[in-house]
Amino acid sequence: DAKTTQPPSMDCAEGRAANLPCNHSTISGNEYVYWYRQIHSQGPQYIIHGLKNNETNEMASLIITEDRKSSTLILPHATLRDTAVYYCIAGIQGAQKLVFGQGTRLTINP
């Protein structure tokens, strides 16, 4: 599985868009980019995933660069409940074995 690199921490004001970057320069052609988040004392929660096209769902948008070496998770209107550790993971489709890095600790400030 490709290694991903994320900033250890970020801050964002409530109501603003939170943009979380992820580098995955060694990603292979059949690996997807997955995003999960973990709120304190809970298990990780799936957010979104994509291969090469941009994706959007009710939680977030995922923007993947054309060369697929990096991506950005966008939370359009961050709320205090979005405070969590966000994990960017590269893995093959359907892989149950996810390789989690240290993630980005996102703090939403009032």
Partner 1 sequence: KAGVTQTPRYLIKTRGQQVTLSCSPISGHRSVSWYQQTPGQGLQFLFEYFSETQRNKGNFPGRFSGRQFSNSRSEMNVSTLELGDSALYLCASSLSNKNEKLFFGSGTQLSVL
Return the number of the residue (40 or 67) whose C-beta is nearest partner 1. 40
User: C-beta of 97: minimal distance to partner 1 in Å?
Assistant: 5
Return the number of the residue (1 or 14) whose C-beta is nearest partner 1. 1
User: C-beta of 89: minimal distance to partner 1 in Å?
Assistant: 10
- The pair phi, psi for residue 34, each rounded to 5°, is -110, 145
Q: Which residues partner with 104 through β-bridges?
A: 86
| Positions that interact with partner 1 (CB under 8 A) | 32, 34, 36, 41-46, 49, 87, 93-94, 96-103
Return the number of the residue (20 or 33) whose C-beta is nearest partner 1. 33
CB 6 within 8 A of CB 89: no
Residue 30, C-beta contacts closer than 8 angstroms, at least 6 positions apart:
92, 93
